[in-house]
Amino acid sequence: RSRTSPTSRPLFLSPPFIEASLVEGSFKKFVVLPKYVDEDEWLAVNVFEFFNYLNMFYGTVTDFCTAMNCSTMSAGPGFEPYTWTDQNQKKSTKLPAPTYIDYVMTMVQNLINDENVFPTKAGREFPKDFQQTVRLIFKQCFRVFAHIYYHHYEQLLHLREEKHFNSLFAHFISFAKEFSLLPDKKELAPLEELISYMESKGRIC
Amino acid sequence: GFGGKGGQEYVNFERSTEGFSKGTLDRSTAARLKLEHFYKVTLDQARERNERRTELEKKLEKEDCSGERKNRQLQSLGRKESSFLRLRRTRLGLEDFVTVKVIGKGAFGEVRLVQKADTGKIYAMKTLRKADMFKKDQLAHVKAERDVLAESDSPWVVQLFYSFQDTSYLYLIMEFLPGGDLMTMLIKYDTFSEDVTRFYIAECVLAIEAIHKLNFIHRDIKPDNILIDKDGHIKLSDFGLSTGFHRTHDSAYYQRLLDGTLNSGGGHRQLGSEANINLTLSSKDRIATWKKNRRALAYSTVGTPDYIAPEIFLQQGYGQECDWWSLGAIMFECLVGYPPFCSENAHETYRKIINWRDQLYFPDDVHLSPEAEDIIRRLICAPEQRLGRHGGEEIKAHPFFTGVDWDTIRNIEAPFVPNLKSITDTSYFPTEDLEKIPEQPQTTERINTNVTGEYNQKDLAFVGYTYKRFDELTRKNAL
Ligand SMILES: Nc1ncnc2c1ncn2[C@@H]1O[C@H](COP(=O)(O)OP(=O)(O)OP(=O)(O)O)[C@@H](O)[C@H]1O
């Protein structure tokens, strides 16, 4: 599949794709904490949905996200590849993107399925450090977004998923901003331009 | 590229899915559909949540109660909303429900009385075998059934609380109606008095009217689908047939019936001999014969055509009035003991329905009031003449219903109030007939949503088939 982009500008930042959007208008109404609702509960259900949908869309590019095509987990040219820090070994390693993302997805899935972290039974409370966990999940999910935007956007286009993916991302960022869950500036850099664009269009609030 | 916009070049991207695996294409379709569904549902839920809040705030405003009490009530709503959100993360599956007993059987699965393991609450769980439904091309229907049940808050419709699926089955978790169904009641009592009949038929009129107002045609109203709640009032179940659930609603099937090529279950009989048999059998004998076969008919995949309007068979188009025909047939059965066109096999029933003009026959040994006979004849007739074709009001105004208070009927005492010993009392269900059915459906894997999990093409049709109802949290147990 040949690159049809005439410039070196990433496809996702080029019109018409940068404008593609499934949901009209601002995500404000989707992200604000509903009055009287428990904030952790709101974070939990949203993390749950973001993870599921991101996972689902990543699932549509896994045929192309192979150790050969994506030998490092990165957000594109000019950005340092991400390193995975193993919980036990305390050691940072560079991994092929599919391995890295598999680690992310497995970790998040395990957290979400852990009754002690994401309680589902009646009467069970959230742990004290829940927001920290959410922040960690957001950071890793952001990296997966970045990897897909930089390395698999063509596939998204062939599959006509760009509206969906853009909206999911705009929703994700809006939510993160609302609850101060955004990763730091350095982390955000690869998608900063996309975020600014979406902000200028009022999609991200 | 084309001309720029805001200085940026428009990119011309040639799309093609050539070389994409089928698995990827399926996953992509599923992902897109699910996300679209997600935003639709999320927006609806946000809207509803807002309504609940503003309603309560307004109410508290009016009540002029203490600030502390106000606060307590608002906090309580917040807790309810929070647990509703929690429910969204809770993946219910078969393992969350314990079967108490198999209580019913339909064409595509069974109905079980189940108890939710953590809360102890009681529900009716209907299973639908996906494979059978695919074979019969019934998917649109399943969605329709779910949507209508889910969207209606009508007291005349059985409520749906959750639904989930695995690779083989769809599961509907509904409110349990402990009083059984009208079919079972008719098997027990043979016939009803006109007063009792008036009660059930009047409630059915309101129920049918309610679903018609939801822009729905039931098409398969029959005593098996008229369920009895704990107070003895009725609710309609099974909106399956709305888009053609059963073989009996399959046009090719009708054609074969019409051509006489269908192998009828009850053995062949010479046509034309029917009239003689009618005369030689007393109503009592006919009731006995009918009852002997009734349950088997209910359990068969073919179902019974006894209550279906002729215009449905004839495929000339039909409207909501087809449900009023069914009501006429049910009313006939309530008073006479068997439905008007019952025969030894579906083929003959079908022929009689087509020839209803010559075949509608009130037996001499059963006494009906003139009003009762008249309303039946005005329901079992050509669609253009049928009472109810301009709405339920027409039927309500018929002299047979003189004295019925349409506004309060659901609140008055029903003629038969189930005598229940516990919340899991199944004495109104023919459970002994269902003993061979396993306690648990044959479980299969859950649908895999992992990165690597292959989506099954078939599952796409069921996207969005996971429903959880807010009321479930707020609802008090019926008993
Ligand atoms: N919510 C419920 N509460 C109690 N009993 C129920 C409930 N739903 C169904 N039943 C029982 O199960 C029987 C079969 O259910 P139902 O008619 O919904 O199945 P079905 O597969 O649609 O069958 P069919 O399509 O042939 O009518 C009913 O006649 C009734 O006795």
Find, among A51, A62, A50, the residue nearest to B453 by Cα.
Answer: A62
- The whole-angstrom separation of Cα A118 and Cα A127 is 8
CB B401 within 8 A of CB B327: no
* pLDDT value of residue B270: 36
pLDDT tens by residue, chain A, 205 residues: 444 444 578 999 999 999 999 998 999 989 999 999 999 999 999 999 999 999 999 999 999 999 999 999 999 888 999 999 877 777 888 999 999 999 999 999 999 989 999 998 877 899 999 999 999 999 999 999 999 999 999 999 999 999 999 999 999 999 999 999 998 999 999 999 999 999 999 999 8
ipTM for this model: 0.90
Spatial neighbors of B136 by CB under 8 A, at least 6 apart, are: B245, B246, B247, B250
Distance linking the first and last C-alpha atoms of chain A:
36
The confidence band for B285, taking pLDDT boundaries of 50, 70 and 90, is confident
Please state, as a whole number, how many other Cβ atoms lie within 10 Å of the Cβ of residue A110: 10
Place of tokens 């209508």: B148
A105 touches chain B (CB under 8 A): yes
A150 token code pair? 């930089």
- What's the full length of chain A, in residues? 205
How far apart CA A90 and CA B175 sit, in angstroms, is 52
What six digits make up the tokens of B197? 């009949």
Measure B104 CA to ligand 1 centroid, in angstroms: 6
Q: Using pLDDT thresholds of 50, 70 and 90, give the confidence band for residue B3.
A: very low
Q: Worst-scoring range by mean pLDDT, B116-125, B195-204, B357-366, B431-440? A: B431-440
Q: Which of A20-34, B57-71, B273-287 has the lowest mean pLDDT?
A: B273-287
Average of per-residue pLDDT across B79-92 = 85
State how far the Cα of B324 lies from the Cα of B158, in Å rounded to an integer.
20
pLDDT in tens, B292-332: 888 887 777 666 789 999 998 887 788 999 999 999 999 99
Q: Phi and psi dihedrals of B103, rounded to 5?
A: -115, -10
Question: What percent of chain B is predicted at pLDDT more than 90?
Answer: 44
Cβ–ligand 1 distance for B297 under 6 Å, the answer no
CB-CB: which of B16, B39, B88 is closest to A22? Answer: B39
Long-range contacts of A80-84 (CB under 8 A, 24+ apart): A82/A143
Question: Cα(B414) to centroid of ligand 1, in Å?
Answer: 21
What are the structure tokens assigned to B239, written together? 């909106």
Sign of the CA dihedral B44, B45, B48, B49?
Answer: negative
Average pLDDT of the residues in B206-212:
93
Give the C-alpha separation, A20 to B241, whole Å. 40
Question: Other CB atoms closer than 10 Å to residue B368's CB: what's the count?
Answer: 16
Q: What is the pLDDT of residue B479?
A: 28
Residues of B in contact with A157 (CB under 8 A): 13, 15
Q: Rounded to the nearest 5 degrees, what angle is found at the Cα of B299, between the Cα atoms of B296 and B305? A: 80
Residue B225: which of B288, B284, B153, B308 has the closest Cα?
Answer: B308
Q: Is B434 in the pocket of ligand 1 (CB under 6 A)?
A: no
The lowest-confidence range among A135-139, B76-80, B91-95, B133-137 is B133-137
B9, B28, B49 member nearest A6 (Cβ): B9
For residue B158, give the ligand 1 atom closest to its CA.
Answer: 1
**Whole-number Å distance between alpha carbons of B156 and B209:** 10
b or e along B417-455 (b: 16 or more beta carbons within 10 Å of the residue's beta carbon)? ebebeebebbebbbeeebeebeeebeeeeebebebeeeb
Catalytic residues of B: 220
Task: Answer yes or no: is pLDDT of B146 > 90.
Answer: no
Q: Is A74 exposed, middle or buried (0-12, 13-18, 19+ CB in 10 A)?
A: buried
Sheet bearing B97-105, strands edge to edge = B97-105, B110-116, B122-129, B169-174, B160-165, B467-468
State the Cα–Cα distance between residues B461 and B440, nearest whole angstrom.
Answer: 25
Run of H or E residues at A39:
helix A39-58
pLDDT in tens, B424-453: 999 999 888 888 888 888 765 554 443 433
Searching chain B, which residue's CA lies closest to the CA of residue A171?
B39
The Cβ of residue A160 has, within 10 Å, a number of other Cβ atoms equal to 14
Over residues B335-363, mean pLDDT: 92
Mean pLDDT of chain B: 81
A114 to chain B, closest Cα gap in Å: 12
Total Cβ atoms within 10 A of residue B387 = 21
pLDDT of residue B40: 86
Confidence of residue B202 (pLDDT cuts 50, 70, 90): very high
Inter-chain residue contact A14 with B10, CB threshold 8 Å? yes
